[in-house]
Each structure stands twice: as C-alpha cells, then as structure tokens.
Amino acid sequence: MTDEDLFQRFRKGDLAAFQDLYARYRKSLYLYLLRSSPTEAEADDLYQEAWSRVIHAKERFSGGSFKAWLFRIARNLQIDSFRRQRLQLVPDSAVPAELSDPGPTPDEISHADDCAERLKVGLQRLPQEQREAFLLKEESGLTLGQIAEMLDVGRETIKSRMRYALKRLRQMLEDCL
Amino acid sequence: MTDQQNKSEVGEDPAISHLYRATRIEEPDAALDVKILAEAKAVTHHQRRRWLLPLSSAAVVLLGVTLTLKLMDQAPRLPQSIDDFNYEQPAESRAIQRAEKKQAQPAPAMMMESMSAPAKEHKDKLKLQKAAPRTSAPAGGSLQGLGQMDASEAFESNQQDLPAVEIMDDPAEWLAHIQMVLDRGERNRAVQELKAFIATYPEYPLPESLQRPDLD
C-alpha cells in the first residue's frame, strides 16, 4: 500500500494506517531533523511538532507525494525555528564558499574516532542549503526534481548544491573513501 | 573528469552515501513515539465521535417524528369548534334535545286547552320519532304529499300557517267533521284539518273519500 493510500485511510479515521505510515518515516524524518538542527533537544521538538502538524492538518493534504509533504512540513518548522533564534540563512550565492564555510578544522577531524563521526562533523560544517539538499536526498529518498519543487527552486540549483556538498564531504573524508 | 566527479555532477556519490548510512544509528526517543501515536489516536477517536453525534441525533429526530405522526394518526379527532362538537352528537341525542326544546316553547293556548291527554302524549311521541328512520305513514298511504310528510312537521306547519285546528278526542268524529267541511266546499280547511288529524292519529285508517289525490 502506498503512502498516499495509508494517509487517505488515516484521514478516514484508521489509526492503524497512521501507525504504518509513522513506522515508514519515523527514523528518516528524525535523522533529517537531527542532522540539520543545532541540538538534539530542538530536533526532538521539531520532530514531534512535524508529526502533530501531519495529524491535525491532514485535511490540508492536497494529494501528490506524502513524503514530500511530510518533509516540507519539517523543513518549514525548522526555518521558523531558525528565524525565532535569529539565525539568518545566507544563500550560497551571496557569500563565497571559502568565507561562508571554512570546512572542518584539523582538530575536529582528528578528534573524530571514525569515518562516520567525521561525516557527521563534516555535515555540520556544510552551508545550510548544501546540507539541506544532501539530507533531503539521503533521508527522504526524493529525486532532485522533487526536492527542487519542494524547496521552490530550480532543478539545476539543487544539482549545484548537491555537487558542492559532495565535493566538500569528499575532501573531508578523503582517507575514508 | 573522474567517475566520482561525474556522479557528483548528477547529485550522487555512492561512497559517501554508504558512509552516511553507517551514521544512521540514532532513533527518536520512545517517549516521542508514544506521544505522537497517542495524539493520532485521540484525533481518530474524536473523528469517530464527530460522525457518531450527528448520526445519533438524526436517528433520535427521526424516531421522534415517526412516533409523533403515528400517535397523531391513532388519536381520536378532537372537535375544533362548537359546531364540530354538535355535528358529532348522535342523532338520538339531537332528537331528544329538539323534543325538549319544543316542550319548553309555549304552545298556543287554544291548542293546549283543546288537546286531550292522549293526543298530547301521541304528539310528543311523534316528535321523538323524528330522528328515527321513517317508514311510510299508514294513514297517508294514498295521500302522497301528506303521507310522506313528516307528521310533526305537518302539525307544526299547520300551527304556523293555518288557523288553529280543534283537535278532537274521537278520531271517527273528527274524520266525520273533516268530511263535512270538505262537503261544504271548504277544501283548504279540510286539508288543514286532515293534516292535523294525520299528525295526531297517524295509525288511524282514513276513509276512501278522504284519500283522494286532489286533497294532497
């Protein structure tokens, strides 16, 4: 059964359908928020709030991809959270990459015990838009076209962000790959 | 351009993706799961109740309307006015009321004085019989008009339109008197007296001479 079928059943009052849907995206949504939030506590709050929106705003779902809708809700919540914290998101195009993102420091890299930990640190060091593109691709499984539509940007823009993100991560994890 | 660079161009790098998947060990806290699923449960429960309430309300209204209509059909029709009430009275009751009303009205003095007790009793009986289904009057067999006229109506008509008729105690003598009046050529008077006679003595047989159609 597709995500959309399960969600339609949940809209009609089928709790089991929601439980199935929740099981499918429980981990991926949480990891998306965890990797893109400054703290685990904030990730927990956003995670709960995102599912709460899905539960209560289910009538607003106008079809299409449930997965894209779910991750869009989570992303919008995160943007609101950033705004509340007065963290201004600066587009990549406005600031040279070298200045906006100096990359992981040697200390950070050397303190990472293994490659997985180094990857986590590397993700934290990525510019927000590159990290967002990478995480959406990895966690949601959406195509670049779906991500572009979700973020309301062109497909080439997403490809560019992904390209930069992968390039930086490869540089940081050179000896792990 | 290397193979990895080509994959980066299309937004893919299997090596990095593989490494990233190795980092996916964290999971949401179980308490979060409980809260979220409880919230979903509450919403679906409320949703069921939201349907249940209008449904049960509609059922109650439908039941009420059905019962009301059924009771209205089964209940006896209530009189809506005094006229309706009177209309519903049995014929016998109305006849008694009319007889009582007639009794209460003062009769002409001459009539009261001249009417003997049996004649008065017979007259009252006639009035009470008014409400009952009529049979053909034996006395008025050949006098079609008189015979089919209600005896009391004829009597009352005489009282109103014609000069007072002296009611005699002896029917034979009264008939002889009527015959004499007729023979004298006072036809109207004879008819008047004959009507009074028939009203008073409806069972008494009339002589052939007084059964002529022209006396109608």
pLDDT in tens, B113-147: 444 445 555 555 544 444 444 433 344 433 443 44
Q: Which of A10, A14, A51 sits opposite B36 (nearest CB)?
A: A51
| Cβ neighbours of B49 in A, within 8 Å | none
Q: Do B36 and A34 touch (CB under 8 A)?
A: no
Residue A74 is predicted with a pLDDT of: 95
How distant is the Cα of B60 from the closest Cα of chain A, in angstroms? 24
pLDDT of residue B90: 53
Helix axes B171-183, B187-200, angle to 10 degrees: 160
B194 exposed, middle or buried (CB, 10 Å; 0-12, 13-18, 19+)? buried
Compare CB distances from A166 to B13, B24, B27 and report the shortest one's residue: B13
Is the pTM above the cut of 0.80?
no
pLDDT tens per residue, range A109-156: 555 557 888 888 889 889 989 999 999 999 998 999 999 998 999 999
B36/A55 CB distance under 8 A: yes
Q: What is the pLDDT of residue A133?
A: 93
What's the complex ipTM? 0.80
Alpha-helical runs (H) found in chain B: 3-9, 14-22, 30-74, 82-87, 91-104, 109-114, 117-128, 144-148, 151-161, 171-183, 187-200
Per-residue model confidence (pLDDT) at position A51: 96
B83 or A67, which is more confident: A67
Question: Which residue out of B19, B27, B51 would a mutagenesis test of the A interface target, given it has the greatest number of A Cβ atoms within 10 Å?
Answer: B19
Burial (Cβ within 10 Å: 0-12, 13-18, ≥19) of residue A2:
exposed
Q: Which residues of chain A neighbour B20 with C-beta distances below 8 Å?
A: 119, 138
Residue B163 confidence (pLDDT) above 70: no
Q: Does A168 touch chain B (CB under 8 A)?
A: no
Judge: B16–A116 Cβ closer than 8 Å, yes or no.
no
User: Are residues B92 and B121 in contact, defined by beta-carbon separation less than 8 angstroms?
Assistant: no
From residue A160, alpha-carbon distances to A35, A88, A107, B10, B59 in Å are 20, 21, 29, 9, 62
CA angle A157–A160–A164, rounded 5-degree value: 145
Spell out, as residue ranges, where chain A has pLDDT lower than 50: 92, 94-101
How many angstroms separate the CA atoms of B185 and A169, rounded? 149
Q: From CA B65, how far away is CA B39, in angstroms rounded? A: 39
Residue B112's pLDDT is what? 43
Q: What is the pLDDT of residue A63?
A: 79
Share of chain B above pLDDT 70, in %: 49
Query: Measured between beta carbons, which residues in chain B are less than 8 angstroms from residue A158?
Result: 11
Using the Cβ of B53 and the Cβ atoms of chain A, whether some distance falls under 8 Å is answered with no
Q: Comparing B149 with B95, which gets the higher pLDDT?
A: B95
* B41 contact residues in A (CB cutoff 8 A): 15
State the helix-helix crossing angle for B151-161 and B117-128, rounded to 10 degrees: 120
Whether B3 contacts chain A with CB within 8 A = no
Report the C-alpha dihedral over residues B8, B11, B15, B19, rounded to 10 degrees: 130
Average pLDDT over residues B171-175: 90
A167 with B8: Cβ contact below 8 A: yes
A36 contacts: CB under 8 Å, gap ≥ 6: A78, A128, A131, A132, A135
CB hemisphere CA count around A175 (13 angstroms): 6
Q: DSSP character for B11?
A: T
**A 117-146: CB under 8 A from B:** 117, 119-120, 133, 137-138, 144
pLDDT higher than threshold 90 for residue B34 = yes
Q: Which residue has the higher pLDDT, B36 or B77?
A: B36
